[in-house]
Amino acid sequence: MRDDLLCLIDKIEDIRGEFSMSGGNVTPELNTIYDKDRFLGWKQELIFELQEIHDKSNDSFIWSVLVLLKQKFDGWSDESSFKELVRSLRAIEKNIEKYYPQSSMSSDKGYSKQDLLDIITKFIDKNSGGRKPISLQDIRNALPIRQKPNEVQFLLNTLEESNVIRKTKGPSMKGIDVKPSSIYYYEINRVIEGEKIMIKQPKIFISHSSADVDIVTPLVELFEDIGLRSNHLFCSSVVGYAIPMGEDIYEYLKNQFNEFELHVIFVLSDNYYNSPACMNEMGAAWVLKNRNTIILTPGFEFHEIKGAVNPRQIGLKLDSNVDEVKEKLGGLRDGLVNEFGLNKLPEVRWESKRDDFIRKVRNLSTFTSPRYGKDKEIQVSELGLLLLKSIASDASGTLIKVRTMSGTTLQVNGKNMIESDERRDVAKWEVAVDELLEQNFIVTVGHKGELFEMTAKGYDYLDSIKSDEN
């Protein structure tokens, strides 16, 4: 039934935690979930609920999700299949009333976010001002439906940020301290008599050129991994997050700015500045003073930023030093987790998702375009070039680095490139690996730092050398 399906959809992030790396050495290292007991049980329950909907409606979209569940999870493409499944389930969640038309939002369990905000506001108004603090559990108990602590905290944060309530240390009580961090005195900051207090929900708007969709799509997938849902995100070039069919594009954008507390992420490039639509979006964000984050595509420099965006603002440059990119992505992740009240991914899983995003972006042809290479002279050492050519000669384009008690090996095509056990010689080869990573000629696969893959930029660099020699 409706609530059972919604409950299964709510478990997405818990089930996502079942992914684990498998393979290695001879076989590719893959992130899999197909054989995990919790996933298999969850999958069967989903099939049961969706099959019931399809039997009644013969809906083609539901059927496509059933086919995905029954056929796609095979251990080879689990990660991409899971992302596709999540997008489909979020679309079903968003349109749940279509599949359960008899379920009314006015039922005992059908409360909107605005309803819950109103209930919390009235509860605090009634109970504040006394000597007894209001705890998070008190507020949870006051709500007519069960909410997780982090969900209640998110609602409280929303009210605080909108200046509806304020958190204080409470009345002066000599010699008495309120110690538990989850206990506060809340007060109503303002109450509008007879008028509903409207709170804008936060939403991410990715302002970009459609010509940069190859970069934007992995970004959206990373946001999904962080925990953002379809109602948290608007991105016109990505299926599931775009403008609904039949909607006027400019009217829809206008409504997004009016109805949501938009956090605008500018994906800046030459393509962006050549698009009148993009420049209009930038202007609207500046007029409305929306919070924004800057991401620069490969080859686009900070000094080239113009228009309403502050060029001195700290942003993320996708082709900068790998460690810097990782640090900036971590900061972006932390900000979104706080902004949307999300559960934080375990660090190992986050690092895997982050590195996968970096690998995808750095494998794009954008990294090898003439625009990317302007004003940059690539210099590769003799040893680095030898290693790069060896990796390119391997059909799989892979390098395996293994460090054991007996020493370090760099395996390409089944051959160890390091012929000497002398530490001085080993160090030279390690520098060569770092050099290729720094130039984005190879990228790390997985989170162990043992497997590397050749990038499009690496192959193109070797091609350019050949043409120069000819």
Which pair of structure tokens corresponds to residue 102?
């008899």
Structure token pair of residue 128: 């504040």
The count of other CB atoms within 10 Å of the CB of residue 383 is 15
What pLDDT tens digit does each residue of the chain (470 aa) get?
A: 677 788 889 889 889 988 988 766 655 778 889 888 889 989 988 998 898 888 888 888 898 899 899 888 888 888 889 999 999 998 898 888 788 764 433 334 456 677 777 788 777 767 655 445 667 777 777 787 777 676 777 777 777 766 666 665 544 333 333 333 334 445 555 433 333 444 567 889 999 998 889 899 999 999 999 988 888 888 888 877 877 777 777 788 778 887 788 889 999 998 999 888 888 888 888 777 778 899 999 888 888 888 777 766 778 998 888 888 898 999 999 888 888 878 888 888 898 889 889 888 877 755 544 444 443 456 788 898 999 999 999 888 899 988 877 788 898 988 899 888 888 888 889 888 888 887 878 888 766 678 888 888 888 888 887 765 65
Number of H helices and E strands in the chain, helices first, is 19, 15
Query: What b-and-e string marks burial along 192-213, b requiring 16 or more CB atoms within 10 Å of the CB?
Result: eeeeeeebeebbbbbbbbebbb
Give the three-class secondary structure for 293. Answer: strand
| Fold equal for 113-188 and 377-469 | yes
Topology (CATH) of 201-365: Rossmann fold (3.40.50)
Domain parsing of the chain, residue ranges: 2-99, 113-188, 201-365, 377-469
Class of domain 113-188: mainly alpha
> Which CATH code fits 377-469?
1.10.10
The secondary structure of residue 195, as a DSSP letter, is S
Q: State the CB neighbour count (10 A cutoff) for residue 171.
A: 10
For 251-287, give the DSSP string. HHHHHHHHHEEEEEEEEESHHHHT-HHHHHHHHHHHH
Spatial distance between the Cα atoms of 74 and 34, rounded to a whole number of angstroms: 6
Q: Full-prediction pTM beyond 0.85?
A: no
